[in-house]
Amino acid sequence: MLADQDELQNETCRRLLAAASEEFARHGYASARIRQIVVAAKVNVAAVNYYFGGKEGLYRATLRYLAGRPVPAKAIANRRGRAPEERLQRRVYAILDRFIGSDRPSPLGRILAHEAMDPTGNLESLIGDTMKPEVERIHALLREIAGPDVPDRKLAHAALGILGQCVLYLYARPTIEDLSPGFAYGPDTCKALAAQITEFSLGGIERLQRTLGPEK
């Protein structure tokens, strides 16, 4: 078995990880089929055990492989100095782009969703690596926007709400396509959705401020 950092140097490993990402993303750990993976990777069955020690090892390596990938460069440009509202929109866009930016659903996002529905024991670390920082950043931005008077609990809930609006498009893709026919996934949609979600949520925050009573 190779060390973690060597996995990507090896052609067989690379093809295996790529194919595994697709398969695990589509069906989740339990329903994913090793055979399907090795066929797609054009690799012999035994390679899985030779390099990764088995299905579970391959799964964990796949998680590392996906979570370790840097987020797309265009999404990170989130310079300071801009208004927090604009930075929020960029954050929202970054999430959407990572999850539904391409024409296909993001493997990492889908695995995360499967893991959330039927945990295999790797959920905590996955969340810690991917969602937690995201939610905390949003929470902090909301604090900047809302000022000090809105209680923290409400802002935390609002941050989750924003996340919820984003991940709905990831989790429930077939549902969405069924509910609003003509909805097309892709980069353009991504930008438009980011604008709408941000707009909608800013309104929500304003109302949270207002219902506190006017400027106590």
Partner DNA sequence: TCCAGATTCAAACAAATATTTGAAACAACA
Partner DNA sequence: TGTTGTTTCAAATATTTGTTTGAATCTGGA
Binding site for its own copies (CB under 8 A): 26-28, 30-31, 110, 113-114, 116-119, 123-124, 127-128, 131-132, 135, 154, 156-158, 160-161, 163-169, 171-176, 178-180, 193, 196-197, 199-208, 210-211
| In the complex, minimum distance from the CB of residue 118 to its own copies, in angstroms, rounded to a whole number | 5
Report how far residue 84's alpha carbon sits from residue 89's, in angstroms, rounded to the nearest whole number: 9
Instruction: Out of 25, 48, 146, 166, name the contact with DNA by CB under 7 A.
Output: 48
Does position 120 interact with DNA (CB under 7 A)? The reply is no
Report how far residue 185's alpha carbon sits from residue 174's, in angstroms, rounded to the nearest whole number: 11
Does position 63 interact with DNA (CB under 7 A)? The reply is no
Q: Which is nearer to DNA, 65 or 169 (CB)?
A: 65
Does position 44 interact with DNA (CB under 7 A)? The reply is yes
Report how far residue 20's alpha carbon sits from residue 70's, in angstroms, rounded to the nearest whole number: 19
Helix (H), strand (E), coil (C) string for 35-97? HHHHHHHCCCCHHHHHHHCCHHHHHHHHHHHHHHCCCCHHHHCCCCCCCHHHHHHHHHHHHHH
Q: Read off the tokens for 196.
A: 């709408």
54 binds, among DNA, its own copies, none (CB under 5 to 8 A by kind): DNA
